[in-house]
Structure 1
Amino acid sequence: MTRPPTAAQRRVIDAAEPVTGRLRGTPAQLAALVRHGLAFRHPRPPHDHFLTPAGHRVRESAAEAAPRPAPEPAPEAGVFAARVGGEDSAPASAAARLREVRGAWQGLLELRRMTNPGGATDRPCGWERAHLVRAAALALEAAGHPPEGPDGAGYRVRATPQPEAVAVHGPDEPTLRACAATLEGAGWQAGEYTEPRTRERYLLASPRRA
């Protein structure tokens, strides 16, 4: 990159989707970001544009300079976020949600390819390690697991005091086993544990490093 992004380009970068780095902007803005190495055009339809590692660094430098938000803030309206379970409402359109989730997962795999050593896509990348709850939830939702709803069925992903680990709860053993298989296939390590006080079974999952 030969010069800093313009104010308009910076706004496009700052508005990138938090999970995937997917960009929205005019064709001229997106093309300029690609020329400067801050974005790339996905080779498969619909040929969306995503931040490169350099683009992520530009966005993160702005976030670090700004007042720090609360951990895991609720996403703004219209911004994609994986469903962690226990949300107040379900998406209005299941078909549209499925398209969003699939696009987010493909974008995350591309981010793995661009940022992991050797371009490995079989294990989580740095973004996922910094956003454990959302990363695990995206892997589960992209595989077709339903998040917990009002009836108590489905998965629920929550942070834990342990470094690089999330807890995945479910209504029964089959749900936990299915979630464990999905996370392991997505590059996580997952094991079943019992909560001593409530005797509830849950998964403890962490990103695999190699």
Structure 2
Amino acid sequence: MSTKVLIIDDEPISRRITKNFLSQIEGYEVVGEAADAQVGFTEIVQKEVDLIFLDIEMPEISGLDFLRSLAKPPKVIIISAHREYAIEGFDLNVVDYLLKPVSMERFKSAIEKFEALNTTNTIDFKKVLGDYLFIRADRKHHKINFSEILYIESQADYLMIYSNNNTTWKTKETLSAIETKLPSTFIRIHRSFIVNMEHVKAFNRELVEIGGEELPVSKSFREVVVQFFEN
């Protein structure tokens, strides 16, 4: 079954380039195009969209504001000429952030990241029961109880998992993939950190103290952290 793609970009040339790249990759179907966010929203409502290629600077509504407005957005790959929005993009859990002009090699790399998030066979994390995960590290499969985990840190293509018994595991995975497999006591506080709120010693709107470390809370996740404790 093909992956259904929507392209939202106010530049016709950029839309054509994206379509051309996708035509060279098997299994992708462009089901819609939009030159602005309002038309893009209509396309999402009317069609089943699996992946959006999204520009940022567009008329009326920016790509980032458009993304924030979606309650349950599809996966998103940003294509922009502006490097300065990258952190905000990743804070919104985009799959990848491509800078124009985009090479075919870089485009394929973004597609591979998308496929890794959507193909269960490529994910080493497996939620076997409600209390633990198996992860692959050091050529072994390790059983980790959720209650042991202090926090998880993203380092490029790897994750560092820190436990309350001073054990650390390094495994090849993405933060977005593991986030879907964790129980509700785990909260994402930053594009690079997920914490087990049961182990949090103190917090404010900028920092979470856990395991003797102070981890940053990014602007996009501040209200989530505050609401967790208020509830």
Do both share a fold (TM > 0.5)?
A: no
The structure whose residues are more often strand, as a share, is 2
The structure whose residues are more often helix, as a share, is 1
TM-score, structure 1 normalization: 0.30
Structure ID, larger Rg: 2
TM-score, structure 2 normalization: 0.29
Greater relative contact order, per chain length (Cα 8 Å cut-off, separation 6+): 1
